[in-house]
């Protein structure tokens, strides 16, 4: 079975993906794939340079992620232009990775915030959406990425439609506004509802006893 996991920035979707990996799933992290696609010498990076200008390329030739992130999270049109470059390449790369591991794992996970927007939901059998309250997500991003409150707030607001789309279309929605152990309990219950049996592999969870 192929399961897509999606959710807005700061929702905790990658924590869910990590727990599924511990339970034996093979996880495709779209953030990792996206970073690989914009490494120096890759076509996507050259297209970004043409589309947005050399000021978004660092002196060593790598992408200035922070500068581009500030731009696309504050300007919807800039995000649309970036997505036009990246989405087709992400879909193709995901298809290639899924083909490579086909038949090798009982459970394969596609961890992608842009699962629906890029059309990656068409490649999976089930979708789990992870949500959380806005202020909680902002606080997590400030702590994790060492951003200011204002920067984190812009990034969260820039993904405002993700929760709505996921909540409308996902097979399972998990609210991760509480403690990590509550998330684990909801995940285990949800997996059973989806017909995914992980009962024999639930010891030594990655979730801490408290936040």
How does pLDDT run along the chain (211 residues), one tens digit per residue?
Answer: 999 999 988 888 988 999 999 889 999 999 999 999 999 999 999 999 999 999 999 999 999 999 999 899 889 899 999 999 999 999 999 999 999 999 999 999 999 999 999 999 999 999 999 988 889 999 999 999 888 998 888 888 766 666 666 667 899 999 999 887 888 889 999 999 999 876 544 444 444 444 3
Number of residues assigned to the chain: 211
| Beta bridge mates, 129 | 6, 173
Q: With beta carbons less than 8 A apart as the criterion, state whether 85 and 51 touch.
A: yes
pLDDT at 158: 66
Question: pTM of the entire structure?
Answer: 0.85
């Amino acid at each position: 079975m192929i399961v897509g996991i999606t959710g807005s920035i700061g929702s905790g979707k990658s924590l869910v993906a990590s727990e599924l990996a511990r339970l034996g799933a093979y996880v495709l992290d779209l953030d990792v794939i996206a970073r690989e696609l914009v490494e120096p010498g890759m076509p996507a990076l050259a297209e970004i340079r043409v589309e947005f200008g050399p000021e978004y390329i660092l002196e060593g030739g790598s992408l200035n992620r922070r500068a581009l992130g500030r731009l696309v999270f504050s300007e919807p049109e800039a995000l649309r232009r970036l997505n036009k470059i990246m989405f087709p390449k992400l879909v193709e790369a995901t298809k290639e990775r899924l083909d490579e591991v086909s038949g090798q794992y009982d459970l394969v996970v596609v961890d992608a915030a842009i699962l629906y927007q890029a059309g990656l939901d068409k490649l999976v059998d089930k979708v789990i959406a992870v949500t959380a309250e806005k202020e909680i997500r902002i606080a997590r991003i400030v702590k994790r990425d060492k951003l200011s409150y204002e920067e984190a707030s812009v990034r969260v607001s820039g993904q405002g439609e993700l929760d709505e789309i996921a909540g409308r279309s996902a097979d399972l929605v998990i609210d991760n506004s509480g403690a990590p152990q509550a998330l684990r309990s909801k995940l285990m219950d949800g997996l059973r509802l989806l017909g995914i049996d992980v009962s024999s592999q639930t010891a030594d969870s990655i979730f801490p006893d408290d936040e």
